[in-house]
Structure 1
Amino acid sequence: MKQTPRRSRAAQKVFRKQQLIDATIDCIDRLGFSDTTLAKVADRAGVSQGIVIFHFKSKDILFLETLRFMAEEYRNAWATALEEAGEDPVEQLCAVVRADFNRSVFNRKKIAVWYAFWGESKSRPTYMKECGSLDEAHTEVLCDLCRKVCDQGGAIVDPQIAAFAIEGMTDSLWQRYLITPKSIKKQEAANASFELMKALFPSKATQIESLKPNKK
């Protein structure tokens, strides 16, 4: 019987740290921020508490690394979408907005954990820094893309206002999906954002409509 090759020590370390971060996300989602402990994370991951301490030293470090993982995951989602969208600013804008409803980030568990971290950020400067820098980068990209679309003509508002409106729509849809996930489907949430963009950029409405996610 052929044996599965063992992971290298470096690969094993990466695997174990990701396993513990995933377990932390699960625990925060199920138990809340304050009730998530190293012992419960270890139990969720099926390892000893000593393993958690070996890789992360403390609960604070584990939580910060979990937040950084989620921030990087979200940043990669929209940055990759932007890179793959081509040169047309309308296509780029639609790609970035579609990424907000990517299954990897737009799911009840991840949204719940995001809100948990945001709730703690007022009293934890390190969390505020991570969350704030992520928001700033996303807002900057949206503003730049909205400006480029406005430069092509047909916009009804200032590009910054358009960017803020799009972000506000996304935030409200994320919140609604968290609180009442059965009240709105992912496809409906994404389409709502595209309808807003059509209203903001009426001269681009036909193109935006054609770029809706999973449009049949």
Structure 2
Amino acid sequence: MNVFPGADVDRKGRKASKEARQQQLIEATIDSLAKRGYSETTLADVADGAGLSRGIVNFHFESKEKLLVATLQYMADEYSAHWSAALEKAGDRAANQLWALVHADFDRRICTKRKLAAWCAFWGEAKSRPTYQVLCGANDKRYQEGFVTLCRRLGEEGDYGFEPESMALGLCSMLEGLWLRLMMGEGLTREKALAAAIDLLVAVFPKHFERAGPKML
């Protein structure tokens, strides 16, 4: 029997409030990374961006490094969950899965200038790379291996004759390059970037794709 009937509710409320405050700070960190970069982002910048005191930032994350690690972890988990869900929803056909993965990269929930700039801030800072490898290395490897598997399956189905590992590397590099161009501006939109990615799929896998989507074989 609970001696204090409202205790569980209070604990849940405090937990929810803590998670909401941490998420608020992470979002402010993403904004600061996009605006200032990795080295120039400070706890004061994050506090100001979130409309909170620096003491609150210190209470939740203790240091800039811990806040940046939490932000990278959040972004990595969000991205991994996003493409994993797209892959699962696509079904068993390799063509449908590859189509889903390419589209997932340009979904407005993931592909925004502020998030792309934050990713670039982590990629471009030498001292963040070991942390990136620890937090994201396994997911990146799983993502790349997934592309290799899909390229191998499509290559066998279509008798295309390319080398699966090289083709997967090329496709992933193309997606990363489009992300970089979107972040840089240059008049490129998500829609144009997605159309360019689709055109490459059609050119590389003509038996499997047309601009409207995967072909029914």
Q: Fold conserved (TM > 0.5)?
A: yes
2:181 corresponding residue in structure 1? 176
Q: SS at 1:152's partner residue? A: helix
2:209 corresponding residue in structure 1? 205
* 8 Å Cα contact 1:155/1:203 also seen in 2: no
CA displacement at 1:155 relative to structure 2? 2.2
1:115 corresponding residue in structure 2? 120
* 8 Å Cα contact 1:157/1:200 also seen in 2: no
User: Does residue 196 of the first structure (1) align with residue 205 of the second (2)?
Assistant: no
Of the structure 1 ranges 123-132 and 161-170, higher mean CA displacement relative to structure 2 is found in 123-132
Q: 2:149 and 2:189 mapped to 1: Cα distance?
A: 29
User: Does residue 26 of the first structure (1) align with residue 31 of the second (2)?
Assistant: yes
Flag the 1:123–1:29 CA change in 2: closer, same or farther, 3 A.
closer
CA displacement at 1:72 relative to structure 2? 0.9
Using structure 1 for the length normalisation, give the TM-score: 0.88
User: Does residue 13 of the first structure (1) align with residue 15 of the second (2)?
Assistant: no
2:160 corresponding residue in structure 1? 155
1:69 corresponding residue in structure 2? 74
Superposed counterparts of 1:85-124, under 5 Å: 85-121=90-126, 124=129
The one of 128, 132, 154 aligned to 2:133: 128
Of the structure 1 ranges 9-18 and 132-141, higher mean CA displacement relative to structure 2 is found in 132-141
Percent identical residues: 42
The one of 23, 42, 48 aligned to 1:43: 48
CA displacement at 1:123 relative to structure 2? 5.7
* 8 Å Cα contact 1:154/1:202 also seen in 2: no
CA displacement at 1:33 relative to structure 2? 1.6
CA displacement at 1:121 relative to structure 2? 4.2
Superposed counterparts of 1:54-65, under 5 Å: 54-65=59-70
Of the structure 1 ranges 119-128 and 56-65, higher mean CA displacement relative to structure 2 is found in 119-128
Gaps spanning 5+ residues in structure 1: where? none
* 8 Å Cα contact 1:121/1:127 also seen in 2: no
Q: 1:159 and 1:118 mapped to 2: Cα distance?
A: 26
Q: 1:119 and 1:129 mapped to 2: Cα distance?
A: 16
CA displacement at 1:129 relative to structure 2? 2.4
Q: 2:28 and 2:55 mapped to 1: Cα distance?
A: 15
CA displacement at 1:81 relative to structure 2? 0.3
Of the structure 1 ranges 157-166 and 55-64, higher mean CA displacement relative to structure 2 is found in 157-166
Q: SS at 1:173's partner residue? A: helix
Using structure 2 for the length normalisation, give the TM-score: 0.87
Q: SS at 1:110's partner residue? A: helix
Q: 1:123 and 1:203 mapped to 2: Cα distance?
A: 42
CA displacement at 1:74 relative to structure 2? 1.0
What letter is aligned with 1:24?
A: T
Flag the 1:56–1:140 CA change in 2: closer, same or farther, 3 A.
same
CA displacement at 1:12 relative to structure 2? 0.7
Gaps spanning 5+ residues in structure 2: where? 1-8
Q: 2:94 and 2:66 mapped to 1: Cα distance?
A: 39
Q: 1:124 and 1:163 mapped to 2: Cα distance?
A: 23
CA displacement at 1:124 relative to structure 2? 4.7
For these two proteins, the number of residue pairs brought into alignment is: 205
